[in-house]
Amino acid sequence: MVSLLALLLGAPPLRLEPRVQEPPATPLDGPGAFLYEEPGTIHDFEITLTDEAASLLGRGEPDVHATLGYRGVRLDVGLKLKGSSTFRGIDGKPSFKIDIGQWVDKQTLLGVRRLTLNNMITDPTMMREHAAYRLYEDVGVPAPRHAYARVKVNGEPYGLYGIVESMDERFLRRQFPGDSEGNLYDTHYTYADLTSSGVAYYALKEGHPLVPGEDLRDLVSELGSGNILDVIDKRFDRDALLGMWAVEFASSNWDSYVRNTNNYLLYHATGSDRWHFLPWGQDSAFRGGGSVYQGVVGRMATACLGDTQCKSLLDARVRSVVDTWEDGDLLGYMQETWALIGPECEDDQRKEAGCDPQAILSILADRPASVREDLP
């Protein structure tokens, strides 16, 4: 693996042979590892659109044909714009979803079927998602991987983008080997929660249940009939579940499951009959301080905080998260990340705010101590 220091000193990046191929089937190098395991690399993607295709792009519109170029590969792919509050049209700095196999059956780019390119326009640090997903990984919570790319559209620079690993069947095979054929539910709006009314706001993303949503409704019913910790231990991976909530609390992420029932998916691993919360959309992490447990709205997190034993376990998990945060030198890692992406942020003519790395670096330095002080 090439070190970041070597790359910054001018060592050539890892070369990949420019051809379409399936990734090696190893548990350590999951599909698309080349995107996320080249330290010090900013990838370059070139998108080419016809005038007709560009005119069809809009909120909620279907995929259009586009050509994706990467390291000598040029592929006919499906492309659409994404986002809610961050949605921008093609004349601004849009976020993209790219389906490499949309028009050509089984086509991949070095094992990757889907690309999510986030515009990062609400994050003047351009590092919040990168830091959050690194912390989830360090504490053992299943989460997407993250990297960076320069993007051009029809030859015009569109600036720096975050690459977030798509939550699809390849992600499930990497995170849940041997139990990846279950049901993955996405959330729509902030009303999605494990309540009798909130269950209507989940949508099946992957899986083939006989009755979509029936397993969700069974879980909601079970939550209403038992002690919260008993339900967690029976139906979830307790350490991963509390770990996800602990990262959300420690990073003061207001737009998360615990505080806004938002930016997460639910996966039912049907082989083990275990449920998993999966984080998504982490651009509101590391945005400030405040009390660790303020503003909680998520049903399960609220129930846990109301149970003495469950809260004690959550307190311990939050402490372990900030210990890992410091022991793993998350601050130093993000300082190195800024050394890599800072010039690209400054050169990004389509960003909507000035570059401000200190908005996250100061929090990474100070937040662990304030979290410890706030815990009993």
312 lies in some domain: yes
Same domain, 95 and 205: no
Instruction: Using the 3D structure, point to which of 169, 187, 205 is the last residue of a domain.
Output: 169
pLDDT per residue as tens digits for the range 41-57: 999 999 999 999 999 99
Q: What is the reported pLDDT for 292?
A: 98
Same domain, 129 and 212: no
Q: Which residues pair with 148 in a beta bridge?
A: 162
Decide if pLDDT at 355 tops 80.
yes
Decide if pLDDT at 307 tops 50.
yes
pLDDT per residue as tens digits for the range 89-101: 999 999 999 999 9
Q: For residue 81, what are the contacts with CB-CB under 8 A and spacing of at least 6?
A: 57, 58, 59, 61, 87, 88, 89, 90, 94, 95, 96, 97
pLDDT per residue as tens digits for the range 134-160: 999 999 999 999 999 999 999 999 999
pLDDT per residue as tens digits for the range 185-232: 999 878 899 999 999 999 999 999 999 999 999 999 999 988 999 999
Q: Which tokens sit at 357?
A: 């790395």
357 lies in some domain: no
Residue 14's pLDDT band, with cuts at 50, 70 and 90, is very low
Same domain, 135 and 198: no
pLDDT per residue as tens digits for the range 276-296: 999 999 999 999 889 999 999
Quick one: the chain helix, strand, coil %, rounded to 5?
A: 35, 20, 45
Same domain, 137 and 230: no
Decide if pLDDT at 246 tops 50.
yes
214 Rama class: left (phi>0) / alpha (psi -120 to 50) / beta: alpha
Tell me which H or E stretch contains 228: helix 228-235
Instruction: Using the 3D structure, point to which of 140, 169, 198 is the last residue of a domain.
Output: 169
62 lies in some domain: yes
Same domain, 34 and 149: yes
**With contact defined as beta carbons under 8 Å apart, do 132 and 247 qualify?**
yes
Residue 24's pLDDT band, with cuts at 50, 70 and 90, is very low
Q: For residue 52, what are the contacts with CB-CB under 8 A and spacing of at least 6?
A: none
Same domain, 12 and 145: yes
Residue 30's pLDDT band, with cuts at 50, 70 and 90, is low
Decide if pLDDT at 111 tops 90.
no
Decide if pLDDT at 8 tops 60.
no
pLDDT per residue as tens digits for the range 312-346: 999 999 999 999 999 999 999 999 999 999 999 99
pLDDT per residue as tens digits for the range 165-178: 999 999 999 999 99
Same domain, 153 and 266: no
Same domain, 70 and 158: yes
In degrees, to the nearest 5, what angle opens at C-alpha 325 toward C-alphas 321 and 331?
160
**With contact defined as beta carbons under 8 Å apart, do 152 and 307 qualify?**
no
Q: Which tokens sit at 192?
A: 């999605």
Domain extent at residue 85: 4-169
Same domain, 210 and 314: yes
Distances (CA, A) of 161 to 45, 90, 319: 10, 14, 32
Same domain, 26 and 114: yes
